[in-house]
Structure 1
Amino acid sequence: MRRTQVVVIGGGQAGLAAGYHLRRLGLDFVILDDQATPGGAWQHTWDSLHLFSPAAYSSLPGWLMPAQAGQTYPDARHVVGYLTEYERRYDLPVQRPVHVSGVHRDGALLRVETDHGPWHAGAVVSATGTWWRPFLPAVPGRAQFRGRQLHTVGYRSPAGFAGQRVVVVGGGNSGAQIAADLVHDTELTWVTQRPPRFLADDIDGRALFDAATARRRALDQGAADTGGVASLGDIVAVPPVREARDAGLLKASPMFERLDADGVVWADGTRASADAVIWCTGFRPALSHLAPLGLRGPRGHIPTTGTRALGEPRLHLLGYGDWTGPASATVIGVGRPARDAAREIAALVL
């Protein structure tokens, strides 16, 4: 029987941050990652994706991300390189590719079932993120559309869409960035549920992290909800988005009512023909491996206090969003909840 004090599930930014703090506390642990190479979800993003913040403000605990030559905001490839080196720098015990199928209670321990056999541990950190569970809305006619449909996770570059009629659905950062990516090479229709809310041009990831932290602090102290990041807007005006917006190229239409075989149709009968629809409609937390524990609550979330699952004190969830720590789904934001989780786990298993 393979046994360790802590199993961390997921070797992306959240799993590595957890590993850093577990190592500093002297715990025995293993990180199980189902990807073949380091870098987590960053190695699967679209080609033009950049961080919202400069490198120094986009770092995991212990080591500042080096600047990328010629770039104020590092691109995804730079982030993959940083995570790869971070893993090596701290000699984190990552095993890959290992797929975790389920976490089960097994007496005093938790049993983690994998395609390489089970692990037993006194505590588990789930850090699988959301990228692996894209959300597609139930829009009428989606099955009848004869063109190409893909989610954010399937988009890479404008190269495969040049000259086509493309509908991009989504008013968040991914929708705005992919729309800006496509606007010069396609006949673009950008569709949003509500009018786009651009953040002020001088706001980047640093300000977003501060807003998320202030909101969590206010809620913890019983004060009024500050609104956090949502109070500032939905879209960070990164340079490509800002340039397309200022040039008058990034104009949004309201959400359509349905699709038909040839495109999208609004409630008043207006239609737009389309060769492709790109759904930038978000993600859900990837938690299927935790189903045997029976912990799921409203909206698919597992109720937590901090990062600890209320229904299973040996389980911590890290990196899924503000419900597992302020800005915990970001590189800069995951460090603090990872530290807190590691301290709670140390108090439990040592």
Structure 2
Amino acid sequence: MGSCKDQEKEHVLLRVRVHVQGPIIVGAGPSGLAVAACLSEHKVPFVILERSNCIASLWQNKTYDRLKLHLPKHFCELPLKGFPNTFPKYPSKYQFISYMESYAEHFNIHPKFNQMVQCAEFDKGSKLWVVRTLEFEYVSHWLVVATGENAEPFVPKIPGMGLFRGPIAHTSVYKSGSGYASQRVLVIGCGNSGMEVSLDLCRHHATPYMVARNTVHVLPREMFGFSTFGIAMTLHKWLPLKLVDKILLLATNFILGNTNHYGIKRPKTGPIELKLVTGKTPVLDVGQLAQIKCGNIKVMEGVKEITRHGAKFVNGQEKEFDAIILATGYKSNVPTWLKGCDFFTEDGMPKTPFPNGWKGDDGLYTVGFTRRGLQGTSCDAIKIAEDIAEQWRTVISGIVTGPDI
């Protein structure tokens, strides 16, 4: 992955060196806050570096207005402090942001904002992590990578994108369909974002054409008054995973019908097994399938190329559009700044799968990379804090020789 020195050949910046009494946490999203809260309970100091000017910046700056948690709130709580009882079963994005802000306040977490990490590397001589921002050089025995799976928007390279005369926007900048009324909009992607953006466009009197290039499971958000995810997790305690998936799909076909009839083809692997193995999340239906059935959301096959006025599809069709929205998800940015470390893949994910991907060598930790949502984040945050706290106590007690802090 190169080294920090390789990035500074042109000029050397005079940075202020800061010795951190505890771990450096990179990222003040839910993952970073969860680790910080758990460290606080163990009385371990820390520093959080955040590139933006707020906590949970993805939620605050890069999500659409109608977004709600896809799972009931008790599945999305961070360690040590739950959602307020007054919050609904599926909190809105604004309620989730409020929860994050109160969480940070409760645990007295104060990140250092506008501190974009340019480079981080373990110095074998000093046995310290050196983390460089534009103005500072932070040094610590421990580094917690909390930038997560969704650090940067993923923009695919589609032939002809530069030719399109209309606007092309990623869902990270999409807020609502109010600016698309009466327009024909191509939505590329059929995951939860693509489905919900298409539904939002419908409700603002636009005509969305949603591209379903890949297979995807669409499940009802609730079955018989209970959370589908909650039912799945309960069944999985007693039944084999493949049997749980069969039960879910039988119930889904009864409630929603066969989605293959509407151009939404299901994967051969069951929804929960697929989620656990690959991280590919099933779409939870909140009304979009009804719009697909009645033709308000038109499902299209894969895009072959973008044209000046629209797009050509792999089935030979060609259509005109006023705008294009890329619901193509996000990616990790770890390889761009973490150097000299082979713990991560080229895609910026830990090579060691869950549940053992939270800890590397030389005081390196990762959180928010489990592909298991906020439950996975909470699980890893607790383990990271306990592991660091044990080392911390050993050092300050002087029982054995530890790192010089």
Q: Is the structural similarity TM-score above 0.5? A: yes
Which residue matches 1:229?
275
Contact 1:308 1:314 in 2 (8 A): no
SS at match of 1:199: strand
How much has 1:182 moved relative to structure 2?
0.5
**How far apart are the structure 2 equivalents of 1:103 and 1:146?**
41
How much has 1:290 moved relative to structure 2?
3.8
Matched, 1:60 2:86: no
Contact 1:302 1:309 in 2 (8 A): no
**Gapped runs of 5+ residues in structure 1?**
219-224
Which residue matches 1:222?
none
The equivalences for 1:55-204 within 5 A come to 55-67=73-85, 71-106=88-123, 107-184=126-203, 185-194=205-214, 196-202=216-222, 204=227
Deviation readout 1:213-260 (Å, 9 max, x if unpaired): 98xx99xxxxxx97253799721113x435534655344211121111
Instruction: Tell me which amino acid in the other structure corresponds to 2:183.
Output: Q
RMSD after superposition: 2.8
Moved more, 49-58 or 78-87: 49-58
Which residue matches 1:31?
48
**How far apart are the structure 1 equivalents of 2:327 and 2:284?**
15
Contact 1:39 1:81 in 2 (8 A): no
How much has 1:14 moved relative to structure 2?
0.3
**Gapped runs of 5+ residues in structure 2?**
1-17, 242-269, 395-405
The number of equivalent residue pairs is 332
How much has 1:165 moved relative to structure 2?
1.2
**How far apart are the structure 1 equivalents of 2:76 and 2:53?**
24
**How far apart are the structure 2 equivalents of 1:250 and 1:338?**
40
Of 349, 372, 382, the residue aligned with 1:339 is: 382
Matched, 1:307 2:343: no
Instruction: Tell me which amino acid in the other structure corresponds to 1:82.
Output: Y
Calculate the TM-score normalised by the size of structure 1.
0.85
Instruction: Tell me which amino acid in the other structure corresponds to 1:229.
Output: K
Deviation readout 1:72-129 (Å, 9 max, x if unpaired): 3111111111100100011124222322211122321101112341111111111112
Instruction: Tell me which amino acid in the other structure corresponds to 1:337.
Output: D
**How far apart are the structure 1 equivalents of 2:281 and 2:139?**
44
Which residue matches 2:397?
none
Calculate the TM-score normalised by the size of structure 2.
0.74
Alpha carbons of structure 1 residues 210 and 19: separation in structure 2 relative to 1, 3 Å: farther
| Percent of aligned pairs with the same amino acid | 24
**How far apart are the structure 2 equivalents of 1:284 and 1:207?**
27
Greater gyration radius:
2
Which residue matches 1:320?
369
Which residue matches 2:12?
none
Instruction: Tell me which amino acid in the other structure corresponds to 1:194.
Output: N
Instruction: Tell me which amino acid in the other structure corresponds to 1:320.
Output: F
Alpha carbons of structure 1 residues 33 and 208: separation in structure 2 relative to 1, 3 Å: farther
Which residue matches 1:281?
328
**How far apart are the structure 1 equivalents of 2:348 and 2:105?**
34
Contact 2:24 2:142 in 1 (8 A): yes
**How far apart are the structure 1 equivalents of 2:316 and 2:289?**
32
Instruction: Tell me which amino acid in the other structure corresponds to 1:64.
Output: G
Contact 2:20 2:46 in 1 (8 A): no
How much has 1:271 moved relative to structure 2?
0.8
**How far apart are the structure 2 equivalents of 1:209 and 1:339?**
24
**How far apart are the structure 1 equivalents of 2:370 and 2:145?**
13
Which residue matches 2:23?
6
